[in-house]
Amino acid sequence: MSAEKIKENTSDKEISIRYIIVAALFWIITISWIVMIFHLSNQTAVQSSNTSNMIVNVINEILGVDIEDDTVIRKVAHATEFAILTIFTYVALSSTNKISNQTSYAESPVKLMRSDNEMNIVFTLWFTILNAIFDEYHQLFVDGRDGSIKDVLIDLIGIVIVLIIIRIAFTIYLKTKGKSEIVYT
């Protein structure tokens, strides 16, 4: 069998086992990360403050600084936990879209977005923003905590920074491979 024939047969595969495994793994990681965020948001104000103070003490010890106010640490933690959620969600969505050529966005008769990558970025954005909103809403019911639109906006900063990095990295990856993005018109 020639190399072209083998390549042709593998591209006609209906389902990719590799992408099923990667997608399942990253959906499990994504859901686990959401549960972890929910758990941290479920801490009372006192527990949350103790956690923040512990992190500040570790940072002070490692960097040899003397940070007393944990406000900056708390805000950076907000952006970071949702930045990480963004990475996991993007990989999970991207892998899910690659499981089958016949059921991928590329085969959809209606194209609302210009490319698969754009679709993955937009869906990731919505998924993570909804989680940030839910997280703040959940905190309204936790003793001593409150929900804050400001915290959702801080989460959004982490989300958007990661999505911009993903977009740039994807473009650089394609250029290094000598490819261009498949754009639907």
The more confident residue out of 90 and 75 is 90
Alpha-carbon Rg for the chain, nearest whole angstrom, is 21
| Residues 85 and 102: beta-carbon distance below 8 Å | no
pLDDT per residue as tens digits for the range 2-20:
444 444 444 555 788 999 9
Number of domains in the chain: 1
For residue 13, is it within any domain? no
For residue 167, is it within any domain? yes
Which DSSP symbol is given to 142? Answer: S
Range of the domain at 118: 23-176
pLDDT per residue as tens digits for the range 115-125:
888 889 999 99
Q: Which amino acid is at 143?
A: D
- Between CA 128 and CA 151 the distance in angstroms is 13
| pLDDT, mean of residues 28-45 | 94
| pLDDT, mean of residues 56-62 | 86
For residue 163, is it within any domain? yes
- What is the percentage of the chain residues whose pLDDT exceeds 90? 50
**pTM of the predicted structure, to 2 decimals:** 0.83
| Residues 57 and 39: beta-carbon distance below 8 Å | no
For residue 142, is it within any domain? yes
For residue 9, is it within any domain? no
Where does the pLDDT of residue 82 fall: very low under 50, low under 70, confident under 90, or very high at 90 and above? very high
For residue 185, is it within any domain? no
Distances (CA, A) of 131 to 68, 97, 126: 30, 21, 9
pLDDT of 139 > 80? The answer is: yes
Helical ranges in 64-98 per DSSP H: 71-97
